[in-house]
Amino acid sequence: DAGITQSPRYKITETGRQVTLMCHQTWSHSYMFWYRQDLGHGLRLIYYSAAADITDKGEVPDGYVVSRSKTENFPLTLESATRSQTSVYFCASRWDRRLNTEAFFGQGTRLTVV
Amino acid sequence: GQQLNQSPQSMFIQEGEDVSMNCTSSSIFNTWLWYKQDPGEGPVLLIALYKAGELTSNGRLTAQFGITRKDSFLNISASIPSDVGIYFCAGQETSGSRLTFGEGTQLTVNP
């Protein structure tokens, strides 16, 4: 199906483990984003990518790593998960940087670090 | 970094009532967006605003881009139970692709 999909939808991991959240979009959008959503903070940008092999930090990048070897995929890796990284993670994509282009969001991944 | 103050944080209303929420920014934005998030889903775009002073409607929803470019509001008329959810404002700066989001307004509609 066309669109933007995240996997897994739910994940429980232990402190210190590495975990990767996947994001795949079928529109060939240039821009992709990772946000985390926490109560009282809204959506905060972790990392974003303007194109394959181009990534940049957002507002809260510490503890996260991203890569973008292919336009359609933008995985987010927690190298050593901490409890403070328990959150709902959203991936989004956008055609380009112009003001009048909409960002589409995936359904989210609920991550719990125990 | 930029801050978006969204208010109110939550609203409890009766079906049929009108709703108003707003966002203010410490910086100037060239785009204001309003999203709705249903439980367990990602945000979905409701209205996009690209010009200062612009007033745009989408069904029962109306949003305005403030003249100062530092604020925006969203009105929902004649609310219905399916309006329940979290509403987010988001702004984009003059340059760059990053969106800054407000903290959200949790709307509850009692039948």
Quick one: three-class SS letters along chain B? CCCEEEECCEEEEECCCCEEEEEEECCCCCEEEEEEECCCCCCEEEEEECCCCCEEEECCEEEEECCCCCEEEEEECCCCHHHCEEEEEEEECCCCCCEEECCCEEEEEEC
> What local confidence, expressed as pLDDT, does residue B96 receive?
61
pLDDT digits (tens, 9 = 90+) for A1-44: 569 999 999 999 999 999 999 999 998 899 999 999 998 778 99
Q: Which amino acid is at A76?
A: L
Which residues, 6 or more positions from B60, have their beta carbon under 8 angstroms from its beta carbon? Answer: B76, B77, B78, B79
Cis bond leading into B8, ω under 30°? yes
Q: Is B30 on the interface with A (CB under 8 A)?
A: yes
Contact A47, A58 (CB under 8 A): yes
Interatomic CA distance for residues A22 and A109, integer angstroms: 9
Interatomic CA distance for residues A19 and A12, integer angstroms: 10
User: In terms of CA atoms, which chain A residue is nearest residue B10?
Assistant: A40
Cis bond leading into B81, ω under 30°? no
State what percent of residues in chain A have pLDDT above 70.
Answer: 93
Q: Running along chain B, 111 residues long, what does each successive block of 10 average in pLDDT?
A: 84 96 92 92 92 94 95 97 95 75 94 90
| Burial status of residue A16 (CB atoms within 10 A of its CB: 0-12, 13-18, 19 or more) | exposed
Q: Which amino acid is at A104?
A: F
> What local confidence, expressed as pLDDT, does residue B104 receive?
93
Contact check, Cβ <8 Å, A43/B88: yes
Contact check, Cβ <8 Å, A100/B41: no
> What local confidence, expressed as pLDDT, does residue A41 receive?
77
pLDDT digits (tens, 9 = 90+) for A84-113: 999 999 999 988 666 566 788 999 999 999
Contact check, Cβ <8 Å, A42/B48: no
Contact check, Cβ <8 Å, B42/A50: no
